[in-house]
Structure 1
Amino acid sequence: MFISRVLVDQNNRQKLKSLTHLGAYHHWVEQSFPEEVKSGERLRHLWRLDSLGGQEYLLVVSENRPDLDQLAAFGVPGTAEVKDYEPFLASLHDGQRLRFRLTANPTYSVSQSGKARGRVYPHVTAEQQSQWLSARAEKAGFTLSTAGETPSFTIVGRSYPILRRKQGRAVRISRVTYEGRLTVTDIAQFQQTLRSGIGRERAYGMGMMTVIPEA
């Protein structure tokens, strides 16, 4: 696995004109793996947008190494970088306390009569969105412990970016960013969570969790 990032070129209006919805970012990420495009065997790539110090970065987690020239297509020249993710993942262990950041699409499903799949709705309140993450922690290999009445995570961003699907229909996707602390409880499952993400719409900038050890 590899983790990559590039600084989005926010000062280039020509480039930004092409990045008006989540599907455009998805296309950018997909084109960063030209060998997969050529073979027609595209793998799932996790990605998200992070704002740090007033600048916006595109982060990507992938099984294959991206082409840095393609990754820099809409980025500031010279800022695309890639690292082998596996040594970091291998350094994690059960019981470890980590700081995390997650951008996800918190949803729930309501069953429909006569249909195999339920209808999906977004969670809209901060309480619902927080409960959504808490409910998924155990299966994802970690726990979100609390200290007294203070939760170990907070919601730091909520938005509804546009996604234009292939049929041309534009929809708004609920995007929520969480930050906080967690404890690893199942290292194998947790490593898989960092590789493959959490929740729906992972192809469109949702589901990526990143962590750093607590100081």
Structure 2
Amino acid sequence: MPYLSRIRINPLRAASRTLLASPRAMHAAVQGGLPGLPDQARTLWRLDGDNPHRPHLFVLTTDKPDWTHLVEQAGWPDADGEHYAVRDYTPLLQQLATGRRFAFRLTANPVQNTNRPDKPTLRQQERLDAGQRRSFRLGHRTATAQLNWFLTRTERWGFDIPSASHLDTTRTADGEPPRDVRITTRRRRAFGKGSLTAKEAQVVMHAVTFEGSLRVTDPARLTERLLAGIGPTKAYGCGLLTLAPLAERA
């Protein structure tokens, strides 16, 4: 049974600053809330910093978690209020039906595979000079490319993005009305992977948050993406798609 959790983070605490600055540290903290072995539990997480003074951590787990350790280390353990909430995710999944609309939020790492990088790194150039044919995974760096990455993949994820009714008077470059999706944050992250120091042990990602509305086209595919995540670097805060029902229009 899947569970969606929301945890309040106190950004002024020393442990919080470490977690907020390091996706690797946050991943370890998330895994620490699960009763099973780390390699047996599939998790997705996302850090929402709409209010930097009150960031929230969202986590999707296959087993029911306990976030007491996060509250004690990075929250307000002695304060009033709900420090974290854990909800059964099944009722939302049961609402998925073709044509149903939802508000959504997704933080993803838009990437492309190429055999010839425009500006190869030293390590990539060494591989090219050695004649290695394996393709390179490179992050999209511009907002236009990142948005195109998203819009060209929604069909395989089981949904489409309707036009933005409040922008019906405008048109895109190809004459189509704009879609109801926007990029709200873009951030390049680079950090070491484990204790290794080699260049290939570095993780570089472009975390992009998309928000808007979607329309379900294939409930089974969308369910799969909700539970399995979207795109790479899921261990480091990318891939979690969350939905909120929208009022049906008459």
Q: TM-score, normalised by structure 2?
A: 0.78
**Match of residue 67 from structure 1:** 66
Alignment of 1:57-136 (within 5 A): 57-72=56-71, 73-77=73-77, 79-111=83-115, 117-136=134-153
1:14 and 1:48, CA in 2 relative to 1: closer, same or farther beyond 3 A? closer
Deviation per CA, 1:35-59, whole angstroms, max 9, x where unpaired? 324xxx4322100001244421111
Partners of 1:23 and 1:191 in 2: CA distance: 27
User: What is the Cα deviation at residue 170 of structure 1?
Assistant: 4.4
Q: Could you tell me whether the CA contact under 8 Å between 1:21 and 1:164 is conserved in 2?
A: no
**Match of residue 161 from structure 1:** 189
1:14 and 1:24, CA in 2 relative to 1: closer, same or farther beyond 3 A? closer
Structure 1 unaligned spans of 5+: none
Aligned residue among 124, 127, 151 for 2:179: 151
Structure 2 unaligned spans of 5+: 117-127, 169-176
Q: TM-score, normalised by structure 1?
A: 0.90
AA paired with 1:120? R
Q: Could you tell me whether the CA contact under 8 Å between 2:18 and 2:25 is conserved in 1?
A: no
Are residues 1:44 and 2:42 paired? yes
User: What is the Cα deviation at residue 81 of structure 1?
Assistant: 1.7
Are residues 1:205 and 2:204 paired? no
Q: Could you tell me whether the CA contact under 8 Å between 1:153 and 1:178 is conserved in 2?
A: yes
Deviation per CA, 1:80-128, whole angstroms, max 9, x where unpaired? 2211101111122110011110100000001378656410111011110
Higher CA-based Rg: 2
1:43 and 1:106, CA in 2 relative to 1: closer, same or farther beyond 3 A? same
Q: Could you tell me whether the CA contact under 8 Å between 2:15 and 2:74 is conserved in 1?
A: no
AA paired with 2:184? V
Deviates more, 1:136-145 or 1:5-14: 5-14
1:187 and 1:164, CA in 2 relative to 1: closer, same or farther beyond 3 A? same
User: What is the Cα deviation at residue 143 of structure 1?
Assistant: 0.6
1:82 and 1:116, CA in 2 relative to 1: closer, same or farther beyond 3 A? farther
Deviation per CA, 1:148-191, whole angstroms, max 9, x where unpaired? 42221000000113332021454432000000111000001111
What secondary structure sits across from 1:35 in the alignment?
A: coil
Q: Could you tell me whether the CA contact under 8 Å between 1:108 and 1:121 is conserved in 2?
A: yes
Alignment of 1:135-146 (within 5 A): 135-146=152-163
Partners of 2:75 and 2:114 in 1: CA distance: 40
User: What is the Cα deviation at residue 71 of structure 1?
Assistant: 4.1
1:67 and 1:14, CA in 2 relative to 1: closer, same or farther beyond 3 A? closer
Aligned-residue identity in percent: 33
1:27 and 1:138, CA in 2 relative to 1: closer, same or farther beyond 3 A? same
What secondary structure sits across from 1:161 in the alignment?
A: strand
Partners of 2:40 and 2:158 in 1: CA distance: 27
Partners of 1:86 and 1:118 in 2: CA distance: 38
Are residues 1:186 and 2:187 paired? no
1:84 and 1:139, CA in 2 relative to 1: closer, same or farther beyond 3 A? same
Partners of 1:211 and 1:159 in 2: CA distance: 22
1:70 and 1:34, CA in 2 relative to 1: closer, same or farther beyond 3 A? farther
Q: Could you tell me whether the CA contact under 8 Å between 1:46 and 1:202 is conserved in 2?
A: yes
RMSD: 2.0
